[in-house]
Amino acid sequence: MVKKTGLILASLFVFMSVGCADLQGASGTSAGKIIPPLLEDSPIGGTWNSRDGGPALLIDDAALFGDQLWNNLSFKVKRVSADKYLTTKYTSIADFPDFPNLENSVVDVITIYSDSNYLGELMKIDDMNMIFFIQNNILLLDKVSDTANVTAASGETGATERLSESNRGASGVLLGLKSPHGESYSYRTLWISADQNGLRPILVSNQIFFPRMSGFWEFIVDDFFEGGTLMNVMAARNITGRGPGVEIPEKTEAAEEEEEPPADTSFKTVNYIGNDYVAMEKTENGINWLQVLPVDNLSSPEKVKLTEFTGENDRDDVGENFGLMRENGHWHLIGRINYQADGDTGYKDFRLDVIPPRNLIFYDTLAIHWRKIKDRVPDALDAFTSPNNNIALVRTKNKLTVYTIEGEQLSEHPLDEIELLEEETIIMAEWATAGYVASWERAFISYGATSPLLF
């Protein structure tokens, strides 16, 4: 049965122009046909109340959910099959008995973004009813007016201003980490966040937990031996609204018949994880290859070519043998040449003079010059800075140190130091700011994250 929870809100209203773009490849969970909404009307304009006890407020270019304020809203509209879409949210039509007309129906799904970051999805059943998927919760919304009562929505004068102030300066990051473990590697995720009051509790899980347009996902590497050879299978799944250990519905006979081709069982290690792509190194028949694959289809025999990102035909000589590496606080595209010499196989990597495109790496800005970081931390091997320039993370051989950013310098004294495992490296950095920080933290805790001291 679907878990329905209320958020502390009062109404829903929006005045703005609406954009429309293709979502294919951004989500992987709700394929459908893009339809252009009317520019003079918002797809969700009006006042909506939640049956679950907590309504939602969207005013002008902002949204208010509980004690969180979201700015710079934009929308995308997609037309999908209702039953297939609900399946992607790990629920079904049977969980919504008040809406019997969902059977075999086609509905509009409105995806909401704040500052180009995914906020939630509205499934518009008709002009008076919507189902809101937000922050691991499901809300049933009833429309009560075509206009908004802003005073009633805010509750009291100054509420929005206080919310904006409370969110200012907050940032958090999900760091994916990889370390050698016997003949293979182990992976884990750290959550580090800070607000105007300082550093918040650090959290960790023993799997890769990462955000996508469709919610939070889990990345799993399953190692095994076959004929004395180490192999593994990599998989990713949407876990929004579900923690580890939650049972996954068994596949139906029809689903079994549509089973994908067998997964690639060659031994692979992950070098980078993003919202939609994974860069890895694989060993096959004694040869080490670089490879980039879509998160949605890790078992696909079709490899992604570099030209699909760059569009430059002169890069076609690199083909599928390319990947990503970290150097001086940035991700860089690299190509690989494999060769044989005197009966031995080998390879040579080389930097590509191409900036990784936004659909591969969404954020890769270093707010402090690498030279200044090295001046403060001479043994620095890597560094990351938050989008709102309030904190920086500096990795050395054995530690990850958190600093505040003062002007264009690291603070003299760090906020904290985190011990790293032997030869541990960072393969993912996904940042949240403002109101996203609290919701990401709650989602990570729901997933099963705990304090490193208790891990």
Which residues make beta-bridge pairs with 450? 204
Q: Which of 230, 226, 235 is nearest to 263 (CA)?
A: 235
Q: Which of 138, 90, 130, 134 is nearest to 109 (CA)?
A: 130
**What are residue 269's phi and psi, to 5 degrees?**
-125, 145
DSSP 110: E
Domain boundaries defined on the chain: 33-166, 171-256+282-447
Helix-, strand-, coil-residue percentages of the chain, each rounded to 5:
15, 45, 45
**Which stretches within 350-417 are classed as H helix?**
370-376
Which residues make beta-bridge pairs with 129? 126, 142
- For 274-421, where are the E strands, in sequence order? 277-284, 287-294, 322-327, 330-341, 344-351, 382-385, 391-395, 399-406, 409-410, 416-419
DSSP 3-state of 146: coil
Instruction: Give per-residue pLDDT as tens, 406-430.
Output: 888 999 999 999 999 999 999 999 9
- pLDDT tier at 115, thresholds 50, 70, 90: low
Compute the average pLDDT of residues 151-169.
45
- What's residue 426's pLDDT? 97
Compute the average pLDDT of residues 321-335.
94
Distances (CA, A) of 189 to 24, 135, 206, 307: 27, 19, 6, 31
* Mean pLDDT for the chain overall: 77
- pLDDT tier at 39, thresholds 50, 70, 90: very low
Q: Any idea which of 155-164, 334-343, 380-389 has the lowest mean pLDDT?
A: 155-164
Q: Any idea which of 54-63, 239-248, 362-371, 401-410 has the lowest mean pLDDT?
A: 239-248
CA distance 9 to 154: 8
Compute the average pLDDT of residues 219-232.
91
Instruction: Give per-residue pLDDT as tens, 370-391.
Output: 999 999 999 999 999 998 889 9
Please say whether the dihedral angle defined by the alpha carbons of residues 328, 329, 330 and 335, taken in this order, is positive or negative: positive
Residue 131 tokens read as 């189902």
